[in-house]
Structure 1
C-alpha cells in the first residue's frame, strides 16, 4: 500500500527518476499467523528512500478531540486573540507539510510545481532539524559541564585531603595534626640549611637559544583586541560557554566579544 515506488533521485522534473528498490519479504508461515498484515510505504520526508512499515492489521484512525478551556474566555484580549487565530492560515508542521506534498506528488510524479515545492519544504525541514540538533547539543554539553564540574570538585576535595604520612624517622602519623607537623619538619630541615651553589655563568645564557629584541618587544606589548579575537575564533565554536552563557558561535556570527 502507499506509493508505487520506494526511491527517487530527488532531482528536478526533467531528470527525476523513480524506482521500486525496497521491498518487504515474508514467509508463508507469516501470512498464516498474520493474514491481515500488509506493508505500507510511508512518505520519505527529506530522504530519497520511502520507509516501509509492516502493520499486522488495519489500524483504526485515532481522532483527537479539541478541548476548549472555559477559563480562556476571561482573558482580557480573548476576542482579539480568537479573531486573529481564526483568520490565520494553518499549514501544519514542517514535516506534515512535506509529507502532504509528497502524497500529492504520487498522483503526478513529474509535476514541476510539486517537485519544486517538495525540494523547498525538504530543505526547510532539514534546516530546522539541524537547528534542533544544535539546541540539543548545547543543552547536553551544558548539562554535562555542570555535572562534570560537580564531580571534579568532589574528586578534588577527596584527593586534596591527606589522612596519613610517614615523617623523617619513618614513623606513620595519622590525622591532620600529625600531617601538618610532618610537613613543617620536612621543609624546615630542607629550607633552613645553607647549601653552597655555584653562580650561573653568563656563557650559559649567551650560548643557548635567546629571544630577539623584536620578539622581546612583542612579549611585553599590551594584549590587543585583535589578538583576543584571533585566539577566540581559533577555538571550536561549541566550546564551553563563558560567564554570560554564550558559546563562541555567538561571537563568530555577531562579532561581539
Structure 2
C-alpha cells in the first residue's frame, strides 16, 4: 500500500495549542493499492479545513473525464456482415516482426479500429436501428397494399425486409451474447407470439 497524491494542506492534524506547545502532523492519510493506481492513475486526495475538529477531512477526487481502457470485445453477429472477412483479413495479414505472443497482442490491438469501422456505421445503437428498420418496412408494406400496381415498391419492400431481418438477427445475437439467456436461443426472434405461448404453457 502507498499514499495517494494529496492536494491542499500537507498536515492534517494539530493540537491547537498556542506558543511553543503548538504541534502539527500528517496523521490522516489515504492509502491505495496497485490495482487502484492502475484503474485511477490521476486520482488524488483533497484536504479540507478541520473546522471544529483537530483533524482534516480527506476526500478522494476522480476526474469525470478520466478515460478508461475498454477490454477487447467481439460480437458474433459481425461475422454475418459481407465485409467482415475482408476487413479482418487485411488487418490480420499485415506482417509483424516479433515473437508469437507479442505478435498476437499486436494483431488483436490492430483489430480495435477495424471493429469500430465495422460496428459504428452498421450496428451502433442496434435497438434504435431495428425500430427504424421495422418502421420503414411497415410503411413500405402499407403503401404497396394500398396501391394497385407498384413494381418498384415491391422491390423496395424486399430490401426493407432483408435489412430488418439482418438487424433483428444482430440485435438478438447481441443480447444473447451479453446476457447469456439460454431460452433466447430457442425462441423465434423473441416475438410477442412466442412470449405469450411461453407464459401460457409455462
TM-score, structure 2 length as denominator?
0.28
More helix by share: 2
Higher-Rg structure is: 1
TM-score, structure 1 length as denominator?
0.22
